[in-house]
Amino acid sequence: MTLPIDALFAGESLRPESQILLNTVVGELQRYPNSAVLVAAHSDAGENAAQARARSFAQAQAIVRSLEATLGDSYHWVAVGYGQTEPIAPNDTAANRQRNRRIEIGIFPASEAYFE
């Protein structure tokens, strides 16, 4: 799943209305109990690389805390802040920079072979 950071965050704090989007994620995660969940945050090239990594890691952690508060600790949570290292579009326009500011959530079900 990919979610836009701008809809979820005001700076490093979750927006109150972000819970609407996160409830969609909760519903999907409930289909895969005891899974590993990777929450990866990405930024655009608007700040220096170290600040971008730190901010994106803090954002990924905030998403994990929110999801874990709802779903509990039966999942294995992993938060990663990529900063601006993995853009999906050139940082040449406002629209492309917005596309690069995103949260990606990967679900790795417990039944996968690498959990055995």
Q: What is the mean pLDDT of residues 55-70?
A: 96
pLDDT at 112: 58
* Cross-strand pairs, 2: 104
Q: Residue by residue, what is the 3-state secondary structure of the chain?
A: CEEEHHHHEECCEECCCHHHHHHHHHHHHCCCCCCEEEEEEECCCCCCHHHHHHHHHHHHHHHHHHHHHHHCCCCEEEEEEEECCCCCCCCCCHHHHHHHCEEEEEEECCCCHHHC
Mean pLDDT, range 46-66, rounded to an integer = 94
Give the model confidence (pLDDT) of 23-36 as tens digits.
999 999 999 999 99
Predicted local distance difference test score (pLDDT) of residue 113:
45
- Which is more confidently placed, 11 or 91? 91
Given 3.90.580.10, 3.40.50.970, 3.30.1330.60, 3.30.230.70, which CATH number is that of 2-115?
3.30.1330.60
On the question of pLDDT at 116 being above 60, the answer is no
Q: pTM higher than 0.85, yes or no? A: yes
The single-letter code of the amino acid at 59 is Q
Q: What is the mean pLDDT of residues 69-92?
A: 95
Residues 22, 66 contacting (CB under 8 angstroms): yes
